[in-house]
Amino acid sequence: MITLTNEQKKFLEDFGITMERVINGDGLGKTDCIALMNDFDYEIAYGVSPCQKEGHTLRWKSWHCAQCNTGSRKFSERYTSYGYVYYAYSEKAQLTKVGFCTNMTERRKTLNTKKTGSFYDWVMPTALYCEENAGFIESLVHKELNLYRIIDTEYKDSDGQVSKELYKISPELAWKTILRIGKENGYEP
Ligand SMILES: [Zn+2]
């Protein structure tokens, strides 16, 4: 069985990518692997065909070598930058989304214009502002709520991507969890 080298583990750590976002691509073809990554919210595949330049075996969803193309470093910036950890609720879906954004007004709009999960009655009442590490706080909240996470190909956005970050919980529980984890990390509304 293919496992991650220490160098690869370090790389993932630097990018704040947790193992639940990493897929073992060994034995999967490129097409199947990318399809799984899209459908189930994986950031990186390992054990895949080595890159031509350096022989690295970590790839982004774009199939670019992760280690040669850290231009996708957006992810880690997102992780450490300021932002809002928000929750939004769709009455029709009976689902709550927990996410991160840097502009609440904009996100309120795009939740519905993008038809998140195929729904467009999202209401986003409030959010927790974090001066830094907002993406990190978001990831802690996601981890906490992981049991209630819904990943279903039935719930697609208008761009055809399977909706991530959807939870079968009440909006109240989402907000309570955001507040508690925020507080543990020094952020209060
Ligand atoms: Zn490479």
The predicted-structure confidence for 28-60, as pLDDT tens digits, reads as follows 999 999 999 988 888 899 999 999 999 999 999
* Cα 57 to middle of ligand 1, angstroms: 7
| Arithmetic mean of pLDDT, 83-88 | 96
Q: For the chain, give the percent of residues with pLDDT over 90.
A: 61
The pTM for the full model equals: 0.65
* Cα 96 to middle of ligand 1, angstroms: 38
* Cα 90 to middle of ligand 1, angstroms: 42
| Arithmetic mean of pLDDT, 154-169 | 87
How far is Cα 145 from Cα 165, in angstroms, rounded to an integer?
10
* Cα 53 to middle of ligand 1, angstroms: 6
Per-residue confidence (pLDDT) for residue 10, from 0 to 100: 85
* Cα 108 to middle of ligand 1, angstroms: 38
* Cα 77 to middle of ligand 1, angstroms: 21
* Cα 70 to middle of ligand 1, angstroms: 10
Per-residue confidence (pLDDT) for residue 169, from 0 to 100: 97
